[in-house]
Structures are given as structure tokens and as C-alpha cells.
Amino acid sequence: MHTIIITGGAGFIGSHVVRLFVKKYPDYHIINLDKLTYAGNLANLKDIENKPNYEFAKMDICDFEGIMKLMQDKHVDGIIHLAAESHVDRSIKDPFTFAQTNVMGTLSLLQAAKIYWESLPEKFEGKRFYHISTDEVYGALEMTHPEGITPPFTTTASSENHHLAYGERFFTEDLKYQPHSPYSAAKASSDHFVRAYHDTYGMPTIVTNCSNNYGPYQFPEKLIPLFINNIRHRKPLPVYGKGENVRDWLYVEDHARAIDLIFHKGKLAETYNIGGFNEWKNIDIIKVLIHTVDRLLGRTEGEDMNLITYVTDRAGHDLRYAIDSTKLQRELGWEPSLQFEEGIEKTVRWYLDNQAWMDNVTSGDYQHYYEEMYAHR
Ligand code: NAD
Ligand code: TYD
């Protein structure tokens, strides 16, 4: 496997995957294919942009002809597909863009790869189409234990890294898809197309479903970077509903390591869940963020609690996500490397140290969107 397209490489998770592959595999040729929407930012890749094994292609994944030509010209033998519209709140306002990019874009990549690879003498031999998806396709889990229980897992990573679980059930790979938001519905649809290309044409595909990621370079419309920035500037923190919803958080570099492992060692046609058994209620995370930002800025810890502002709940807000990644841990030996407290400390430090990055992404188009979205809060 030598020439790999990584789609969405200028986004949050994609930039960590591109960086890992460019640094770890000097013999590979890595093509970062990205349309550079509001969420794509080449500043995320400054440190590797001049590496000889890296190339950027500004392209829309819906541009079937363009992708065909790129695959033929560069003899592409692997695709790691992350490009997507990724924010639930935006999907509620503008579902069409989500269907276009996440469904039609994935389909156009699949079809281009199929036609190009089938035209080669070796056909699908040595080829790989790896689709990155989300745990949100499984829907929402109940919260049977609002006070939290110890999760019943025995693998090393989960027993060392786990936080409390808020229910007995977890997302496993065999669960039926039950997406609720336009975002997760579009991701679910794209996952089905990827599997259909395996089952119908024999395409060498893999799908993974990961829990919420956090870490450097995340666009500040998502909870963690938005709130770090707001605490810093003493702006209100818009907590949806009662702040009781539960998310399962993974440090982004642990996701990138899992992608590397699965791309190279995962079984074709399989699905793997990725997550670190790390469930948190939103309000608890927000308190940790306030304490951490206050401490790192030399303020009195907790003095910014008054920024918490409860606002109208998100429409169709999924109550609880919790990933069971036992299969990945057992079959491929992956485990998360960081305790959540360490990951949050690193993340808060990064945003505080990189105010220029934050100022850059919160200017221009985004600022306009931001004002429209958050003006009433
Ligand atoms: P992001 O929004 O930060 O980045 C998306 C990237 O895709 C951007 O660089 C953007 O320019 C690019 N893009 C969007 N539309 C495009 C198009 N039509 N053509 C080409 N490029 C386009 O997203 P992210 O948070 O890094 O998520 C990456 C992937 O991982 C997505 O598929 C998402 O569903 C999945 N995922 C995300 C999370 C999470 O917590 N962020 C968790 C699990 C899975
Ligand atoms: P988000 O980061 O948008 O990820 P997702 O919706 O994909 O899980 O949101 C994480 C959680 O935080 C989710 O339960 C919604 C909540 N949230 C708020 O309470 N306020 C906010 O301003 C945002 C962006 C999210």
C-alpha cells in the first residue's frame, strides 16, 4: 500500500491522521484531499506541509470525475475517508448539505475507486477503502444509572482508563442502526453504501465507528473547544437542556492510532467500534473545563462557574452514547493511551497556547455563522 488518499485531512481528526501517516510512513505518498469548507484549515498541518511524501489536493468528494482522474494519475491504492459535514447543530439547520457531502460524496468516492481499481490487472488485490464513521449511527442509549456504575469490562485498557458508566447497555458492532439527527442519518446512509460496495462488488472495505473525539485543532463549534474559548473570554457557556446528556470521549491521537492499526491490520468487510470507556455527563465535563482553564490562567479555580447558562435543548438530543470497543482491543490489541484528566489538561493548554489559531478560525465566515447561531445566548 503506497499511495493513499486521506479525505478531510484539513479537518480536526483528518489532520491528526495525515500527520501520523506522513511522519510514520516516509515511503508512502499521502494525498490530503479536502474541499476546505469552514471546518478545513491547512494551518492544522503547517508542521508537515513541506514533507516530500505529502501532497494537498483541493477537491470536493462529490467531484466524481476529478477523483477518478486523481486516482488514475497517482495510482492510488488506499483511501481513508474522513471528509464529512460533522456538526449535529448545523445538520438540524441545513440537512441537504449533509446528505450531499456525507452520502453522495461517499458514493462518488466509492464508485471512482471501484472503476479505477477494477481497470487494473490486479483489480482489488492490495487495495483498501476505509470509511470513518461515528457511534451516533447507533442512536441513543438509556440512562438506567444516573449516578453512575463501574462498567463491567475486563480488558487492561478499559479497567485502567474507564470512568463511570451511566447504563448497562453499550453500543456493540452488531447493533441495529437507529440514527436520530440528520447528521447521523447521513453517516448511517454512507456506512450502508460502503458495506453495499463490499457485498455487491467485492470492494475491500472497512468501517469504524468512533465515540466523541477531543484534542487540538477541533473547530470551536463543538463542545470542548467552544467552551474553553468562552471560559477564557468570560463569555456565557450555553449548556443544552439540563447538561445531563452523556458522551463517551476519546483523545484524538488515540483515534488516529486506531485508524493506523485498523487500516493495516483490520479484517476486510469488518466493522470495529473505537472508544475508551470514558463516559461523562456534559455538565461534569464543563466543570472540569472551568477548573482547568481557571487554574492555567492563574484565576481562582471555579470562579467562572457563573458562566454556565442553561439554554433550550437541542432538538432530538441523544441522551447517552457509550461505545464497547472490546472487539478492537481483543482482536488488534489497541487501547487508549491517555487518562481523560491528562487529555483534558493537554487539550486546554493547547487552546490557551494557540490563541492565534483560534482567532483565525473564528473570523470571517465562521464569525458570521457563530453570531447567527449563538446571538440569542
Ligand atoms: P471536521 O468537520 O473537523 O472536518 C471535516 C473535513 O472534511 C474538513 O477539513 C472539511 O473541509 C472536509 N470536507 C467537508 N466537506 C467536504 C467535501 N464535500 N469534499 C472534501 N472535503 C470536505 O470533522 P471531524 O470532526 O474531523 O470528523 C472527521 C470524520 O470523523 C467525519 O467523517 C466524522 O463523521 C467522523 N467522526 C467524528 C467524530 C468527532 O468527535 N469529531 C467522532 C467519530 C467520527
Ligand atoms: P458536540 O460537541 O456538538 O458533539 P455531538 O453532538 O456530536 O455529541 O456536543 C457534545 C455534547 O455537548 C452534546 O450532548 C451537546 C452538548 N452541547 C452543549 O450543551 N452546548 C453547546 O454549545 C454544544 C456545542 C454542545
Atom of ligand 1 nearest to the CA of 9: 9
State the ligand closest to the CA atom of 32. 1
Distance (angstroms) between ligand 1 centre and the Cα of 317 equals 20
| Per-residue pLDDT at 317 | 98
What is the Cα–Cα distance from 183 to 189, expressed in whole angstroms?
10
| Per-residue pLDDT at 159 | 47
| Per-residue pLDDT at 1 | 57
Q: Is 136 a catalytic residue?
A: yes
Q: What is the mean pLDDT of each run of 10 residues along the chain (377 residues)?
A: 93 98 98 96 95 98 98 98 97 97 98 98 98 98 92 56 84 98 98 98 98 98 97 97 97 98 98 95 97 98 97 97 95 92 96 95 69 55
Domain boundaries, the chain: 3-218+247-290+314-341
| Per-residue pLDDT at 368 | 61
Q: Is 294 a catalytic residue?
A: no
What sections of the chain are H helices per DSSP?
12-24, 64-74, 88-93, 95-98, 106-118, 156-161, 182-201, 223-232, 252-265, 282-296, 326-332, 340-353, 355-361, 364-374
Distance (angstroms) between ligand 1 centre and the Cα of 82 equals 5
273 in helix, strand or coil?
Answer: strand
- For residues 182 and 92, the answer to whether their CB atoms sit within 8 Å is yes
Atom of ligand 2 nearest to the CA of 183: 7
Sheet holding 128-134, edge to edge: 54-58, 29-34, 3-7, 78-81, 128-134, 205-210, 271-274
pTM (whole model) above 0.75: yes
Q: Is 135 a catalytic residue?
A: yes
Query: Phi and psi (nearest 5°) for 240?
Result: -70, 135
Using a 6 Å cutoff on CB, does residue 37 contact ligand 2? Answer: no
Atom of ligand 2 nearest to the CA of 240: 19
Instruction: Tell me which CATH code domain 3-218+247-290+314-341 carries.
Output: 3.40.50.720
Give me 317's grid cell: 438530543
Q: Which amino acid, 18?
A: V
What is the Cα–Cα distance from 248 to 143, expressed in whole angstroms?
13
Q: What is the 3-state secondary structure (H, E, C) of 145-213?
A: CCCCECCCCCCHHHHHHCCCECCCCCECCCCCCCCCCHHHHHHHHHHHHHHHHHHHHCCCEEEEEECEE
- For residues 198 and 162, the answer to whether their CB atoms sit within 8 Å is no
Of 7, 8, 15, the residue nearest 256 (C-alpha): 15
Identified catalytic residue from 34, 77, 136, 324? 136
| Per-residue pLDDT at 377 | 45
Using a 6 Å cutoff on CB, does residue 132 contact ligand 1? Answer: yes
Give the closest residue (by CA) to ligand 1 atom 19. Answer: 60
Mean pLDDT score of the chain: 94
What is the Cα–Cα distance from 207 to 193, expressed in whole angstroms?
11
Distance (angstroms) between ligand 1 centre and the Cα of 259 equals 14
Helix (H) or strand (E) holding 236: none
Residue with cell 477503502: 129
Identified catalytic residue from 135, 253, 254, 294? 135
